[in-house]
Amino acid sequence: MSGSPVVTVLPAAGSGARLGAGMPKAFVEIGGVPMLVRAVDGVLASGVVDHVVVVVPVELVRDAAGLLPGRPVTVVPGGADRTASVAAGLAATGPEAEVVLVHDAARPLTPAGVVRRVVGAVRAGAAAVIPVLPVTDTVKTVDEAGIVTATVDRSTLRAVQTPQGFRGRELRLAYARGPDPVTDDAGLIEALGAPVATVAGDPLAFKVTTVWDLRIAELLLADVPAHPAGGVRSTG
């Protein structure tokens, strides 16, 4: 750990409607460990994050804190959508957080290397940094009837993951302007006219959205040795 404080805001207050597990998604276990615990430990295992603000449904603040003993975390209640939850987490970071990461609890297998690349790029001067992967499928646009209207040039497309990294000042400014819930965090910085840099993402940073994704995560855990903090190793 060196330099100015790095704080991660971890939105974990969603309901997980598409997963349909009967509980908020971040509390669903993968290999016996709740996703939010894996996500927190993965971020801390990077060695470049000082503190994590975990944002959960209001009725689960105590439960979440109980799942995270001994970690440098603050648990706060979230809002009706992800943007409101990130805003609540950001408000709890304090002005001394010079680098702020925003990272979905729903990406529990994110390798420490992705976190280090994002923080490294912010420290190197970028106002906003996102981890990305090339798009491998052919992508087409269609009309209302499902008829293809165009084939998109995939060479300029990137799929975006988290953690997204920011100079704290810029992110607080973007949220102070009243964020648009359909725009991701980096999109808010784009709207301010600042460049958003990219670093290499990692397939292991995929988001658990559906039962299929949960199954894939379970299979990957069986395949990849656990590291002491409870995450998984990767080449990153």
Burial of 127 per CB tally in 10 Å (0-12, 13-18, 19+): buried
The greatest distance separating any two alpha carbons of the chain, rounded to the nearest whole angstrom, comes to 55
Q: Which string of x and - marks every residue 133-172 that binds ligand CTP (by CB under 6 A)?
A: ----------------------------------------
Binding of ligand CTP at residue 8 (CB under 6 A)?
Answer: no
How is the chain split among helix, strand and coil, in percent rounded to 5?
A: 35, 20, 45
Binding of ligand CTP at residue 34 (CB under 6 A)?
Answer: no
Phi, psi (rounded to 5 degrees) for 51:
-155, 150
* Run of H or E residues at 157: none
State how beta strands 128-134 and 140-142 pair. unpaired
Q: Assign 235 to helix, strand or coil.
A: coil
**Of positions 1, 17, 124, 147, contacts ligand CTP by CB under 6 A:** 17
Binding of ligand CTP at residue 9 (CB under 6 A)?
Answer: no
Stretch that binds ligand CTP, among 78-86, 92-100, 113-121, 185-193 (CB under 6 A): 78-86
Which residues in the 164-223 window bind ligand CTP by CB under 6 A? 207, 209
Which residues in the 79-118 window bind ligand CTP by CB under 6 A? 79-82, 85, 104-106
> How far apart (Å, rounded) are the C-alpha atoms in residues 11 and 83?
9
26 binds, among Mg ion, ligand CTP, none (CB under 5 to 8 A by kind): ligand CTP
> How far apart (Å, rounded) are the C-alpha atoms in residues 25 and 73?
19
Cβ atoms of 148 and 35 closer than 8 Å: no
Stretch that binds ligand CTP, among 13-21, 90-98, 126-134, 164-172 (CB under 6 A): 13-21
Site residues (vs Mg ion, CB under 5 A): 14
Smallest distance, ligand CTP to C-beta of residue 216, A:
15
- For ligand CTP, the closer CB: 16 or 236: 16
Number of residues that bind ligand CTP (CB under 6 A): 23
Phi, psi (rounded to 5 degrees) for 74:
-120, 135
Closest CA to 134 of 153, 106, 151: 153
Cβ atoms of 199 and 206 closer than 8 Å: no
Binding of ligand CTP at residue 75 (CB under 6 A)?
Answer: no
123 binds, among Mg ion, ligand CTP, none (CB under 5 to 8 A by kind): none
- For Mg ion, the closer CB: 46 or 162: 162
Residues that bind ligand CTP (CB under 6 A): 11-19, 25-26, 55, 78-82, 85, 104-106, 207, 209
